[in-house]
Amino acid sequence: MVTEEEVRDALKGVMDPELGRNIVELGMVRDIHLSDNQLDLTLALTTMACPLKDRIVKDIKSAIRGVDGALLVDVELVEMSAEERAKILGDRRIQQLIAEPFNEIDHIIAVMSGKGGVGKSSVAALLAIASRKRGERVGLLDADITGPSIPRMFGLHGVLGTSPLGILPAETPSGIKVMSINLLLPTEDEAVIWRGPLISGAIKQFWGDVFWGTLDTLVIDLPPGTSDATLTVMQSIPLSGVLLVTSPQDLAGMVVRKAARMAQQLAIPILGLVENMSYVRCPDCGKRIDVFGPSRAEETAEALGVPLLGRIPLDSGLALHCDTGQVEEYSGDVFLPIAEKISELVPAVKCKPLGR
């Protein structure tokens, strides 16, 4: 018969992927009950929205099988109290960096897609530009550390400035403040070959070490997918909401639903869905051509329970302006009504990051 001590010893090999310590040391293992061929235990999570809880449960069952393969394991999930969570996260809290207390930002919108290639960065740039045209004070944080493209779109190069309050972001001709890893590299072609913890650390510094000053809106261009970098933004920065970007292909719709599920699990409001590269207008006859097939935007938005904010056509003019660093000079006003809708949907209160 397996003993409780043997169970605890086995569970010392199960790590919380985010906290980097074993679940026994963290005090997450509660109420172990053994009877016949059954093991019942309670696992206390820092939050029930933990996106890795299924992985932890799977690791628990795998660890117990290593002790007794015939033992049936049932794991009940509960949430820690605020006091317990504060004790565990005490040494993991994001330190308040020098610039953060001096930044006053009303709304923070993360632009997210499930996969690359749907034009998420161009949508983030268009949202920042449209917000600026509406008279807002705007910042644009490029959180795509390994594939940054925002500086090239705006034609930004050179060394960033510093001040007693922190790093000063670059500024576009229209006055949009921009921060990106590419503004810190010797050349824009330099590869950033970092593992997850370094990438997450850089994103936290872009938030806490950069003196953004007073902004009406900060737009964050997230990397594609649901990796460490995206999780860091959602758990470290007080977001107002997420803007989802997809394209007409069914594959893109399937993957953006994964991104939506991540936002929902972390209790981040989804402001709506934008379909990019939705169609193209024939320059000769004006006929609408569905290059990537019929639009699935309404179907996807309905499945997610979020508003469809608009469809953006495929426009070679936009691509040219982005490639030449002149995206602010792009004359298309297709995004202005979308920006108006977003401003109406943004909640007044931002989400509170985990551990703060």
Residue 10 has a pLDDT of: 94
Could you tell me if residue 351 is inside a domain?
Answer: no
Q: What mean pLDDT do residues 252-278 have? A: 90
State how far the Cα of 197 lies from the Cα of 118, in Å rounded to an integer: 26
247 and 328 part of one domain: yes
CA dihedral 268, 269, 271, 275 (to 10 degrees): 50
pLDDT confidence band for 148 (50 / 70 / 90): very high
Query: Among residues 105, 97, 88, 106, which one has the least CA distance to residue 50?
Result: 88
80 and 196 part of one domain: no
218 and 116 part of one domain: yes
Last residue of a domain, one of 51, 75, 92: 92
pLDDT confidence band for 21 (50 / 70 / 90): confident
Q: Which long-range contacts (CB under 8 A, 24 or more apart) does 198-201 make?
A: 199/145, 199/146, 199/228, 199/229, 199/232, 200/228, 200/229, 200/232
81 and 145 part of one domain: no
Residue 25, both tokens: 């040391």
pLDDT in tens, 222-240: 988 777 888 889 988 999 9
Percent of all residues in the chain with a pLDDT value above 70, rounded to a whole number: 94
Residue 38 three-state SS: strand
pLDDT in tens, 23-50: 999 999 999 999 888 999 999 988 776 6
pLDDT for 165 beyond 80:
no
Check which CATH number belongs to the domain holding 202 and give it: 3.40.50.300
Residue 51 has a pLDDT of: 57
Last residue of a domain, one of 69, 92, 115: 92
| Cα separations in angstroms, 141 against 64, 111, 118 | 44, 10, 19
| Residue at 294: amino acid letter | P
pLDDT confidence band for 342 (50 / 70 / 90): very high
Q: What mean pLDDT do residues 56-79 have? A: 92
Could you tell me if residue 353 is inside a domain?
Answer: no
Residue range(s) defining the domain that contains residue 54: 4-92
> Which class for 305: exposed (0-12), middle (13-18), buried (19 or more C-beta within 10 A)?
exposed
136 and 215 part of one domain: yes
Q: How many domains does the chain have?
A: 2
Last residue of a domain, one of 92, 108, 123: 92
pLDDT confidence band for 94 (50 / 70 / 90): very low
